[in-house]
Structure 1
Amino acid sequence: MQNFVKKMKWPDYLILALLVGFFGYIWYSIEGTLNYKWRWELIPGYIVGWHSGREEWFANLLLQGLAATVRISIYASILALILGTILGVARCSANLTVRMLARTYLECLRNIPPVVVVFIFFFFLSQQLIDALDLERWARGIARQEDIGVWEFFFGEMRRFPSLVSGVIVLALFESAFVGEIVRAGIQSIPRGQREAARSIGMSRVQELRYIVLPQAMKRVVPPLANQFITLIKDSSIISLISVQELTYKTVELVASSRMIFEAWITTAAFYFLVCFTLSRVFARLEKRGKAGER
């Protein structure tokens, strides 16, 4: 902290003063002009609550939403990485039809508003898949069991499992378009000479991708993929529109029931900031260690 203060120059102090003044003015406008009564003392109770009957603490609305956001982001990122890698490889395929199909998918998703994409995927794909697999009946059966602690840890409340699956599928399909372009750029960054050398020793194209191109490409695209994962966490708020009960959806519920508009949304913004900022610092440190190891 002391090193950070020493590095600051007078323009940094000026910007900091302007920011403090700006937020102070907003605070004064809300409290004075709008005659808004702040109720920050109630917010902790909506994060962690006390159950008087069972005499134990429990995760309340905001913490439930945060946990759901983390789960959805992790599962969607894994699925998006798998789909994106397939799309990235397809974009570099020697077959023109495969290349054009992959490019059409990527260009459509990257140039259509996310809200539109979410509704299209939800109504025409994820909901149809859930109905076809009868996931609602299966989830209700799990929810009736007594010992479901492991299920709830990984998937939350099992009665809402179909909703979680919908959110993961929709978010993964949308984000896979961006992951696909990142992987495609990584594959094309590998020198052509390495590919020619692989073919000269009798490797097939699949072996060339598996043993030569993809290992190097994936190592190069780790930083942009890490940034995309952080973006995915922020984009997860979009799926609240299809009633997936993540952090943004729970915040809307809290605002509707308590009328604590500013407290609820500021707390939610703080949650998103803490998660994304922490991950960005972790990824930055891992990237530095990777570069140091290469030296």
Structure 2
Amino acid sequence: MMERSGGSYGRILVRLCVGLTAVVVLVLLFAGIDYPWNWRVSLQYRELFIRGFYNTLVVSVGAIVLGFILGVLGGLARVSRNIVASEVATLYVELFRGTPLLVQIYIFYFCIAAAVHLDNPKVIGIVTLAFFSGAYISEMVRAGIESIDKGQLEAAKSTGLSDRQTMRYIVFPQALRRIIPPVTGQFVSLIKDSSLLSIISVRELTKAAEVINATTYKTFEAYLPLAGLYLLITYPLSYLTQRLEAKMDSRSR
């Protein structure tokens, strides 16, 4: 326990040193630029950043939850013995993985949303991001399930468990532990991809920075805080996921 605690403190210290070094290097680089810095602009338009941060957080959380549900369902359908479910899931994965997210946003906003009379860019953005990320998560779930040793399936059946019980109690919990790192990476990418929703007038972080830049012509003061705010969302997600993965590993031992 003491050794693990010491290792954790060591990692934190190394990260702080690396982070401070990166900050110093950036400051030195920016010091050589002939640019009239004015950080009061960022403070003056802080309400735009706060509103954009909130909207980005809402859109990201909604898309993560819905995307994970779609991904799990799609992954289970991909390995299902039901031909219809398997083929529908395959079509869904290939369609959303094979087309750019920007094109999907346009189609959802200008075609599908108009057909169902939905005029809420934030909801449309959540749904689009969820379907996009769900396609990638589906493949991760499928790969995680198929990576489980077949001998465990045979052992579960020999004890009288049904296929559904085997999947629920034996296969899926193990697959879930294995897909945590790639799924977390997908969630982080999803948060950053939410910046594309500015094209359909969702007032998220990137849109806020664009408005500030267009109004004040202060590019650095608009986009440097933007990068920091995105990091403020993505880093806690990565950290919490690492803790969850470590906790699940310790329980499985």
**Partner of residue 166, structure 1:** 124
After TM superposition, give the deviation of residue 82 of structure 1 in Å. 1.0
**Unpaired segments of 5 or more residues in structure 2?**
1-7
**Using a 3 Å threshold, how does the CA distance of structure 1 residues 242 and 27 change in structure 2: closer, same or farther?**
farther
CA contact (8 A) 2:71 2:137 kept: yes
Q: 1:291 and 1:2 mapped to 2: Cα distance? A: 20
Q: 2:165 and 2:249 mapped to 1: Cα distance? A: 27
After TM superposition, give the deviation of residue 23 of structure 1 in Å. 6.0
**Using a 3 Å threshold, how does the CA distance of structure 1 residues 211 and 287 change in structure 2: closer, same or farther?**
closer
**Using a 3 Å threshold, how does the CA distance of structure 1 residues 290 and 195 change in structure 2: closer, same or farther?**
closer
**Partner of residue 61, structure 1:** 48
Taking every aligned residue pair, what percent have the same amino acid on both sides? Answer: 37
**Partner of residue 279, structure 1:** 237
**Using a 3 Å threshold, how does the CA distance of structure 1 residues 216 and 242 change in structure 2: closer, same or farther?**
same
Per the normalisation by structure 2, the TM-score is 0.82
After TM superposition, give the deviation of residue 38 of structure 1 in Å. 1.4
CA contact (8 A) 1:171 1:239 kept: no
What does residue range 12-23 of structure 1 map to in structure 2 within 5 Å?
none
**Partner of residue 234, structure 1:** 192
Per the normalisation by structure 1, the TM-score is 0.72
**Partner of residue 289, structure 1:** 247
**Partner of residue 4, structure 2:** none
After TM superposition, give the deviation of residue 282 of structure 1 in Å. 2.5
**Partner of residue 37, structure 2:** 38
After TM superposition, give the deviation of residue 201 of structure 1 in Å. 5.3
Deviation per CA, 1:142-192: give whole Å up to 9, x if none. xxxxxxxxxxxxxxxxxxxx2221111111011111111111112112222
**Partner of residue 115, structure 1:** 102
Q: 1:80 and 1:204 mapped to 2: Cα distance? A: 28
Q: Which amino acid aligns with 2:28?
A: G
Q: Max radius of gyration: which structure? A: 1
After TM superposition, give the deviation of residue 252 of structure 1 in Å. 1.2
CA contact (8 A) 1:163 1:244 kept: yes
Kindly indicate whether residue 88 of structure 2 is the aligned counterpart of residue 101 of structure 1. Answer: yes
CA contact (8 A) 1:186 1:221 kept: yes
After TM superposition, give the deviation of residue 263 of structure 1 in Å. 0.6
Which shifted more, 176-185 or 89-98? 89-98
**Secondary structure of 1:94 counterpart:** coil
Kindly indicate whether residue 41 of structure 2 is the aligned counterpart of residue 76 of structure 1. Answer: no
**Partner of residue 156, structure 1:** none
Q: 1:210 and 1:292 mapped to 2: Cα distance? A: 20
Q: 1:83 and 1:28 mapped to 2: Cα distance? A: 49
**Using a 3 Å threshold, how does the CA distance of structure 1 residues 197 and 119 change in structure 2: closer, same or farther?**
same
**Partner of residue 183, structure 2:** 225
Q: Which amino acid aligns with 2:95?
A: C
How many residues get paired?
Answer: 243
**Secondary structure of 1:221 counterpart:** helix
Q: 2:185 and 2:12 mapped to 1: Cα distance? A: 27
Q: 1:2 and 1:223 mapped to 2: Cα distance? A: 22
Q: Find 2:171's aligned residue among 171, 189, 213.
A: 213
Q: Find 1:28's aligned residue among 8, 29, 32.
A: 32
After TM superposition, give the deviation of residue 5 of structure 1 in Å. 10
Q: Which amino acid aligns with 2:152?
A: Q
**Using a 3 Å threshold, how does the CA distance of structure 1 residues 237 and 187 change in structure 2: closer, same or farther?**
same
Q: Find 2:115's aligned residue among 128, 136, 150.
A: 128
